[in-house]
Amino acid sequence: MDKQACANAPVAEKKPRKPFEYIAAVFKNVYVLYAISIICFLSIWDLVAVMKVFGKFMPRPVEVLQQLGDMFVHPLAGKTLLVHLWFSLKRVLIAFVIAVAIGVPIGLSMGFSPYINAIVKPVFDLFKPMPPIAWISLAILWFGIGETSKIFIIIIGAIVPCIINSYNGIRLVDPELYDCIRMLGGNRRQEILEVTFPAAFPAIFAGIQISLSMAWTTVLAAELVGAREGMGFIIVLGMNLSKPAMIIGGMVVIAFTAWMISLAVTRLERWVCPWKTNLE
Amino acid sequence: MENKSGVKKPKIECINISKYFGEGREKIHVLDTINLSVEENEFIVVLGPGQSGKTTLLKIIAGLYRPSTGKACLDGRVITEPGPDRGIVFQRYTLFPWKTVMGNVEMGPKLRGVPRKARREIAGHYIKLVGLSGFENAYPHQLSGGMKQRVGIARAYANNPEVMLLDEPFGQLDAQTRYLMEQETVRIWETEKRTVVFVTNNIEEAVYLGDRIVVLEGKLPGRMKTVYKVDLPRPRDYTDPAFLELRHRITEETELVL
């Protein structure tokens, strides 16, 4: 059934190529185009900096790199760049774990029970559209400017996708799968274990993924106010010291870290749900 | 299966089944006084166009729907809920996407608590019967439509049901694969005989497969129109004059254009 006949496939004809076709082929290579894209971007940036379009507050790419190297070695406010990064990451991880631990069970119970859903949903719908950053002032009044208020704000930001996706994951399971397992002789407990959870899992996992990137976004906002360490602090310090290279350096590290995290999560997903991701 | 008086008892009996969906003004009459009995190991085809209530009838026999009036019986007992004594194959395949072919097929025995080794053996047997040996570890998304439906058939068989219920199982396949699957269905059924209720909208498929063909009227509510007995020997030939004649007769009498 899987026998694909290759025997009759036409043999690729070898045409003599003109020189300009070789050049055209080079420009059709995606990696060449990626390189062109990055080089163009850096060149324009450099040009803008050298021409002082934004006055003296636009560093050249090289200066940003030097600044990063400097922060990597020399402590800033008593801590090197990696230590600052670690402080931000730690906040994200703590808040993220708490958000998942609270949010997923809430979403699941909303998905399972229409009564719980009817009780939770109106309140949740009221809070859902509030941007987490709006909570900063309140959090500081309640918890002071210490760790607690930062973690609180990140939880507010990260919990929403956990709840929504867990709820929808349960709710949107193909009902015919339930018919199927009941016809195979499954009882209520087996329906939940063998159908509900595995069927809802990819949606729940996607929610956790969104939740993690929300946490990473929110931690910066939280650190912009009254932090003594972390990536948000570096950016604020850069502003206060009028060092744009420090700000942009911070932004680069933040973006790079977010990228690494999402790569790791994608890997994890491939491992935990092979049926979903090994599509060729 | 004979009772005291020596009269053959039907395997499945539908007695005065009517079915309505919805309430009040939105109430829809889907099935109207269906009376049908199916003998043990009989291959019965329910033929009707879309929206004739044939899937509803199948789901009532499955126990997934309750009839509004009348009753469906299996071996004389009223069917009230789904159960493993009836295996079902869905039009949309409805495999468990997170399970491999093996995982899907062994699901029935697993739910019954059959130990791993034994249920692998059972599943392996049916995977072989439907011609999927070598694909045990493939996930459904890696299979073609025809292969998915083979898994569906093997999964239903693996539970050793007394009755097989197939709901337009080949409706989504291309014509070529459909012919192949029809031939496979007959082969599998002749290897392991079961009472089969097969729902389709395809007259040719009905004539190829059925011992009897129950035709439902073409608009709601579904009513039984005619029952045809097909006496052609198996395996049947799609181009055999007798085959074509019966096909022609059913087409004319049911005014279905397919």
For domain B1-85+162-258, say whether CATH 3.40.50.300 is its number. Answer: yes
Show the DSSP H helices in chain B as ranges: 54-62, 101-105, 107-111, 116-129, 145-158, 175-191, 203-209, 241-254
CATH (residue range A71-277): 1.10.3720.10
**For the residues B190-203, what does the mean pLDDT come to?**
93
Q: Does A147 touch chain B (CB under 8 A)?
A: no
- As a whole number, the mean pLDDT across chain B is 91
Contact yes or no for B102/B125 (Cβ under 8 A): no
Of the residues A4, A173, A182, A183, the best mutation for testing chain B's interface (the one with the most B CB atoms within 10 Å of its CB) is A183
Distance from the Cα of B232 to chain A's closest Cα (Å) equals 30
DSSP chain A: ------TTSPPPP-PPPPHHHHHHHHHT-HHHHHHHHHHHHHHHHHHHHHTTTTGGG---HHHHHHHHHHHHHS-BTTB-HHHHHHHHHHHHHHHHHHHHHHHHHHHHHHHH-HHHHHHHHHHHHHHTTS-GGGGHHHHHHHHTTSHHHHHHHHHHHHHHHHHHHHHHHHHTS-HHHHHHHHHTT--HHHHIIIIIHHHHHHHHHHHHHHHHHHHHHHHHHHHHTT-SSSHHHHHHHHHHTT-HHHHHHHHHHHHHHHHHHHHHHHHHHHHH-HHHH---
pLDDT at B131: 92
- pLDDT bin (cut points 50, 70, 90) of residue B193 is very high
Of the residues A179, A184, A270, A272, the best mutation for testing chain B's interface (the one with the most B CB atoms within 10 Å of its CB) is A184
Domain residue extents for chain A: 19-58, 71-277
Q: Name the residue among A185, A186, A279 with its Cβ closest to that of B141.
A: A279
pLDDT at A132: 87
Q: Compute the C-alpha angle A221/A225/A228, nearest 5°.
A: 110
Q: Does B19 touch chain A (CB under 8 A)?
A: no
pLDDT at B252: 87
Name the residue with higher pLDDT: B100 or B258. B100
ipTM of this predicted complex? 0.90
User: Residue B2: pLDDT above 50?
Assistant: no
pLDDT at A14: 56
Contact yes or no for B49/B225 (Cβ under 8 A): no
Secondary structure element (H or E) that encloses residue B15, with its range: strand B12-21
Low-confidence ranges of chain A (pLDDT < 70): 1-17, 277-280
Q: Which residues of A touch B97 (CB under 8 A)?
A: 199, 275-276
Which one of A262-266, B8-12, B14-18 scores highest in mean pLDDT?
B14-18
Q: What is the dihedral of CA A14, A15, A16, A21, to 10 degrees?
A: -110
Q: Name the residue among B84, B92, B131 with its Cβ closest to that of A184.
A: B84
Distance from the Cα of A180 to chain B's closest Cα (Å) equals 7
Asked if A183 and B96 come within 8 Å (Cβ–Cβ), the reply is no
Q: Name the residue among A182, A186, A275 with its Cβ closest to that of B98.
A: A275
Distance from the Cα of A190 to chain B's closest Cα (Å) equals 7
Q: Does A179 touch chain B (CB under 8 A)?
A: yes
Q: How far is B218 from B44, CA to CA, in rounded Å?
A: 19
Q: What is the 3-state secondary structure (H, E, C) of A138-179?
A: HHHHHHCCCHHHHHHHHHHHHHHHHHHHHHHHHHCCCHHHHH
Residue A123 in tokens: 């309140």
**For the residues B143-159, what does the mean pLDDT come to?**
94
pLDDT at A52: 86
Residue B94 in tokens: 């409805």
Secondary structure element (H or E) that encloses residue B77, with its range: strand B77-78
Q: How far is B124 from B116, CA to CA, in rounded Å?
A: 12
Q: Name the residue among B90, B131, B141 with its Cβ closest to that of A180.
A: B90
CB interface of B with A, residues 72-101, below 8 Å? 81-84, 86-88, 90, 92, 94, 96-99
Each residue's pLDDT tens digit, B165-176: 999 999 999 999
Residue whose tokens read 């290579």: A29
Cis bond upstream, residue B169 (ω within 30): no
Q: Does B147 touch chain A (CB under 8 A)?
A: yes
Q: Does B140 touch chain A (CB under 8 A)?
A: yes
**For the residues B18-42, what does the mean pLDDT come to?**
91
Domain residue extents for chain B: 1-85+162-258, 95-160
% residues pLDDT > 90 (chain A)? 68
Asked if A186 and B111 come within 8 Å (Cβ–Cβ), the reply is yes
- pLDDT bin (cut points 50, 70, 90) of residue B49 is confident
Q: What φ, ψ does residue B73 adopt, rounded to 5°?
A: -125, 145
Stated pTM of the model: 0.82
pLDDT at A12: 53
pLDDT at A13: 54
pLDDT at B88: 96
Residue A185, sorted as left (phi over 0), alpha (psi -120 to 50) or beta, turns out to be left
pLDDT at A273: 81
Asked if A180 and B140 come within 8 Å (Cβ–Cβ), the reply is no
